[in-house]
Amino acid sequence: MIGSILLLAAVTAERLGELWLARRNTERLLANGGREVAAGHYPLIVVLHGLWIIGLWLLAWDAPISPLWLVVFALLQVLRLWTLGTLGRRWTTRIIVVPGETLVAAGPYRLLRHPNYVVVIGEIAVLPLCFGMPLYALLFSAANALILTIRIRAENAALAGSLRADPA
């Protein structure tokens, strides 16, 4: 039980920290001439992630943790940190385009077009699996897939129209 509470507390703290960082980076990007693109779907992302973590607190706070799925979740966190570290001040939860910026092609972006979304897709599925909740993982993964389909199309369109590729 204490392990489940600690894991959920760590994920909750991580999410809150990311929201703080995203807000700070968003404000900086907008102040530097950036513009937000396709903001209409953003509330859906917030609601989905909020319901996901609240539901896990309600249903899994006392569940045993699968060591195998916990290792997978930990590996996703390594990819998350690599992604955030690579983007630095450019990372945000919104789609912000700054004219003249180059498209990041370093770190995990050398291997994947959207490594942050790989992490999010993994987390939405894997954290519930840590607690033995496959139906929960499936339900939220399906909802996440719908929202990310909209998100990734919008982001790809924004990036294609406004950024140039970084030769590095």
CATH number at residue 43: 1.20.120.1630
Residue whose entry in the numeric block shows the structure tokens 């992630």:
49
3-class DSSP state of 164: strand
Q: Across all residues in the chain, what is the average pLDDT? A: 93
Overall domain count for the chain: 1
- List, for residues 96-149, the tens digit of each pLDDT value: 999 888 889 999 999 998 999 999 999 999 999 999 999 999 999 999 999 999
- Output DSSP code: residue 41: G
- List, for residues 134-144, the tens digit of each pLDDT value: 999 999 999 99
Give the domain range for residue 94: 2-165
Give just the sign of the alpha carbon dihedral 129, 135, 137, 138: positive
